[in-house]
Amino acid sequence: MMELPFDVNEYNPKSSQKLADWSPGENPGGFLYEVETLYRTEKGSYFILLEGGLFSRFHPFPGSEIWYGGSNIKPVSDDEALGWCEETGNFDVIDEHFSGGEAMTS
C-alpha cells in the first residue's frame, strides 16, 4: 500500500465541509466524467476531492479501481483554494469564505 504525503484522517470528505464543486460537462456515469469538489477541514485546511470515470484524468491515480474510474485527494493552500474558486466560477464561496482575496480563518 502506498504511503500518502498527508493525513488521510484530516482530509476526509465525510467529516469536512463541502464548499463547492465543478464539472467540465460530461454526464455523471460517463467514461470521461470528472468532478472536482472543494472541502474545508475542521482545522481550516482546504482540499479538492478529484473523481472521474474510466477515461478521466483521475483514473491513473494510485488507489483507482481498474474498471470504475478513480478518485484522489489533493490538499491545497488557501491561495490555491481561492484560485480554484475563481477559475471554476464559485464566486459565492469566495464571498462567504474569503475576504479581500484571502482565506477567512473562522
Q: Convert the pLDDT of each residue in 17-32 to its tens digit.
A: 999 999 887 666 667 6
Q: Does 3 map to a domain? A: no
CA torsion sign for 9, 10, 12, 16 is: positive
Q: pTM score, two decimals?
A: 0.77
Strand partners for 60: none
5 belongs to a structural domain: no
What pLDDT is attached to residue 80?
96
**Structural domain count, the chain:** 1
Residue 83 lies inside a defined structural domain of this protein: yes
Question: Could you give the CA distance from residue 50 to residue 98 in angstroms, rounded to a whole number?
Answer: 22
Q: Which domain holds residue 73?
A: 13-100
Q: Which helix (H) or strand (E) holds 92?
A: helix 91-97
- Is residue 37 included in any domain, yes or no? yes
* pLDDT exceeds 70 at position 54: no
Task: Flag whether 8 is in a domain.
Answer: no
**In whole numbers, what is the pLDDT of the chain averaged over residues?**
79
Q: pLDDT tier at 64 (50, 70, 90 boundaries)?
A: very low
In a domain, 30, yes or no: yes
